[in-house]
Structure 1
Amino acid sequence: MPKPTEEAMDTDTFNMSLRKFLKQVGVTSQQAIEAHVRDSGVDSGSLTARVVLTIDGQEFEHVVTGRIDLG
Protein backbone atom coordinates (compact mmCIF):
# COMPACT_ATOMS: atom_id res chain seq x y z
CA MET A 1 0.00 0.00 0.00
CA PRO A 2 1.46 3.40 -0.95
CA LYS A 3 2.41 5.83 1.77
CA PRO A 4 -0.11 8.68 2.13
CA THR A 5 2.30 11.18 0.51
CA GLU A 6 3.06 8.88 -2.45
CA GLU A 7 0.92 8.43 -5.52
CA ALA A 8 0.29 4.92 -6.76
CA MET A 9 2.09 4.06 -9.99
CA ASP A 10 -0.18 3.99 -13.03
CA THR A 11 0.71 0.61 -14.59
CA ASP A 12 -0.63 1.50 -18.03
CA THR A 13 1.32 4.76 -18.16
CA PHE A 14 4.46 2.99 -16.93
CA ASN A 15 4.16 0.19 -19.51
CA MET A 16 3.55 2.62 -22.40
CA SER A 17 6.45 4.83 -21.36
CA LEU A 18 8.76 1.83 -20.91
CA ARG A 19 7.84 0.42 -24.33
CA LYS A 20 8.46 3.82 -25.94
CA PHE A 21 11.89 4.02 -24.28
CA LEU A 22 12.82 0.47 -25.32
CA LYS A 23 11.68 1.12 -28.90
CA GLN A 24 13.88 4.23 -29.00
CA VAL A 25 16.81 2.21 -27.63
CA GLY A 26 16.28 -0.53 -30.22
CA VAL A 27 15.86 1.75 -33.22
CA THR A 28 18.73 4.11 -32.41
CA SER A 29 21.04 1.23 -31.47
CA GLN A 30 20.33 -0.55 -34.75
CA GLN A 31 21.03 2.64 -36.68
CA ALA A 32 24.29 3.22 -34.80
CA ILE A 33 25.49 -0.37 -35.36
CA GLU A 34 24.58 -0.25 -39.06
CA ALA A 35 26.49 3.04 -39.45
CA HIS A 36 29.51 1.61 -37.65
CA VAL A 37 29.59 -1.51 -39.83
CA ARG A 38 29.18 0.57 -42.99
CA ASP A 39 31.80 3.17 -41.98
CA SER A 40 34.35 0.71 -40.59
CA GLY A 41 34.39 -1.48 -43.67
CA VAL A 42 33.80 -4.64 -41.64
CA ASP A 43 31.81 -6.98 -43.87
CA SER A 44 32.28 -10.51 -42.56
CA GLY A 45 32.57 -12.46 -39.35
CA SER A 46 30.76 -11.30 -36.27
CA LEU A 47 30.73 -8.54 -33.71
CA THR A 48 30.34 -9.00 -29.98
CA ALA A 49 28.15 -6.24 -28.60
CA ARG A 50 27.31 -5.27 -25.05
CA VAL A 51 24.63 -2.95 -23.74
CA VAL A 52 24.82 -1.61 -20.20
CA LEU A 53 21.58 -0.17 -18.85
CA THR A 54 21.60 2.00 -15.75
CA ILE A 55 18.98 4.15 -14.08
CA ASP A 56 20.09 7.54 -12.75
CA GLY A 57 19.76 7.76 -9.00
CA GLN A 58 19.16 4.03 -8.59
CA GLU A 59 21.46 1.15 -7.74
CA PHE A 60 20.62 -0.69 -10.94
CA GLU A 61 22.70 -2.09 -13.76
CA HIS A 62 21.59 -4.58 -16.41
CA VAL A 63 24.08 -5.95 -18.96
CA VAL A 64 23.14 -7.71 -22.20
CA THR A 65 25.89 -9.25 -24.34
CA GLY A 66 25.36 -10.84 -27.70
CA ARG A 67 26.86 -11.68 -31.07
CA ILE A 68 25.90 -9.97 -34.31
CA ASP A 69 26.72 -12.12 -37.36
CA LEU A 70 27.72 -10.21 -40.48
CA GLY A 71 27.39 -13.14 -42.84
Structure 2
Amino acid sequence: MDEETFNLSIRKFLKVVGVSSQREIEQAIAQALADGTIAGTGRFPVTMTLELPAAKLKAKFDGEIQLE
Protein backbone atom coordinates (compact mmCIF):
# COMPACT_ATOMS: atom_id res chain seq x y z
CA MET A 1 0.00 0.00 0.00
CA ASP A 2 1.25 3.47 -0.86
CA GLU A 3 0.61 5.62 2.23
CA GLU A 4 0.80 8.90 0.32
CA THR A 5 -1.73 7.79 -2.30
CA PHE A 6 -3.96 6.40 0.43
CA ASN A 7 -3.87 9.61 2.50
CA LEU A 8 -4.42 11.83 -0.54
CA SER A 9 -7.44 9.79 -1.63
CA ILE A 10 -8.93 10.02 1.87
CA ARG A 11 -8.44 13.80 1.92
CA LYS A 12 -9.97 14.13 -1.55
CA PHE A 13 -13.01 12.09 -0.49
CA LEU A 14 -13.45 14.07 2.73
CA LYS A 15 -13.23 17.36 0.85
CA VAL A 16 -16.00 16.25 -1.53
CA VAL A 17 -18.10 15.05 1.41
CA GLY A 18 -17.56 18.28 3.35
CA VAL A 19 -18.40 20.62 0.49
CA SER A 20 -21.36 18.54 -0.74
CA SER A 21 -22.75 18.03 2.75
CA GLN A 22 -22.59 21.73 3.53
CA ARG A 23 -24.42 22.55 0.29
CA GLU A 24 -27.14 19.97 1.01
CA ILE A 25 -27.64 21.22 4.57
CA GLU A 26 -27.81 24.85 3.45
CA GLN A 27 -30.38 24.03 0.76
CA ALA A 28 -32.49 21.91 3.13
CA ILE A 29 -32.50 24.60 5.82
CA ALA A 30 -33.33 27.33 3.28
CA GLN A 31 -36.24 25.27 1.97
CA ALA A 32 -37.51 24.47 5.47
CA LEU A 33 -37.35 28.17 6.37
CA ALA A 34 -39.19 29.12 3.18
CA ASP A 35 -41.86 26.46 3.82
CA GLY A 36 -42.26 27.55 7.42
CA THR A 37 -41.31 24.06 8.58
CA ILE A 38 -38.71 25.54 10.91
CA ALA A 39 -38.16 28.97 12.42
CA GLY A 40 -35.03 31.02 11.91
CA THR A 41 -33.76 30.06 15.33
CA GLY A 42 -33.01 26.81 17.00
CA ARG A 43 -30.73 23.85 17.13
CA PHE A 44 -31.22 20.70 15.12
CA PRO A 45 -29.62 17.32 15.70
CA VAL A 46 -27.72 15.93 12.73
CA THR A 47 -26.24 12.52 12.01
CA MET A 48 -23.65 11.43 9.46
CA THR A 49 -22.95 7.80 8.66
CA LEU A 50 -19.71 6.71 7.03
CA GLU A 51 -19.65 3.30 5.42
CA LEU A 52 -16.76 1.42 3.85
CA PRO A 53 -18.20 -2.04 3.20
CA ALA A 54 -14.93 -3.56 1.95
CA ALA A 55 -13.35 -2.88 5.35
CA LYS A 56 -16.56 -3.58 7.29
CA LEU A 57 -16.60 0.01 8.55
CA LYS A 58 -19.80 1.70 9.60
CA ALA A 59 -19.30 4.76 11.81
CA LYS A 60 -22.00 7.16 12.99
CA PHE A 61 -21.24 10.78 13.90
CA ASP A 62 -23.73 12.93 15.78
CA GLY A 63 -23.76 16.70 16.01
CA GLU A 64 -25.92 19.75 16.00
CA ILE A 65 -26.75 22.49 13.49
CA GLN A 66 -27.39 25.89 15.09
CA LEU A 67 -29.18 28.73 13.33
CA GLU A 68 -28.35 31.36 15.96
Q: TM-score range by the shorter chain?
A: 0.7 to 0.9
Gaps in structure 1 of 5+ consecutive residues: 1-8
Instruction: Provide the alpha-carbon RMSD of the alignment.
Output: 0.9
CA distance in 1, matches of 2:57, 2:7: 19
CA distance in 2, matches of 1:57, 1:14: 15
Highest Rg: 1 or 2?
A: 1
Q: Point out the structure with the larger strand share.
A: 2
Q: Percent identity?
A: 37
TM-score relative to the length of structure 1 = 0.83
Identify the match of residue 59 of structure 1 among 35, 56, 59: 56
**Match of 1:44?**
41
Gaps in structure 2 of 5+ consecutive residues: none
CA distance in 2, matches of 1:59, 1:66: 23
- Alignment size in residue pairs: 63
**Match of 2:27?**
35
